[in-house]
Amino acid sequence: METTETVTTGTLEAIAEAFNRHDVDAIMAFFAEDAVFESPKGPEPWGRRYVGRVEVREGFAARFAGIPDVHYGDGSHWASGDRGVSEWTLTGTTTEGERLELRGCDLWTFRDGQIVKKDSYWKIVAE
């Protein structure tokens, strides 16, 4: 896939900052119209898949509604060409009162500087 704009770690940091502000408009400004978001949880092996800007937006809004204080800390980012990786620690409390603290990552694919795929993974915390 040929790209006309190189993605940098600064791009990935700006995306993380928008997520930590829970600013869905700012987040969506990074996404292409045909973007795909594969969430870490869902009914399929890839989680729940959201396709297109409308569905992706709904997926992020659901995350903020379900974990109102969600925060992505301890971030570390890599970028190369049209691919990027972000590692982070997610913290927050679900609306059911469950406290979360877990490591996770996003695998990013870009086209012309916009996100076309966000593939998210979380560690499963179990005793």
End-to-end CA distance of the chain: 43
Round to whole Å and give the CA distance between 97 and 108: 30
The pLDDT of 51-61, averaged and rounded, is: 98
* Tens digit of each residue's pLDDT (9 = 90 or more) over 83-99: 999 999 999 999 999 99
Residues 6+ apart with CB under 8 A from 55: 37
- Inform me whether the pLDDT recorded for 3 exceeds 50: no
Q: Tell me how far apart the 2 most distant CA atoms of the chain are, in Å.
A: 47
- Residue length of the chain: 127
- Inform me whether the pLDDT recorded for 36 exceeds 60: yes
For residue 127, name the pLDDT band (cuts at 50, 70, 90): confident
Domains of the chain: 9-122 (3.10.450.50)
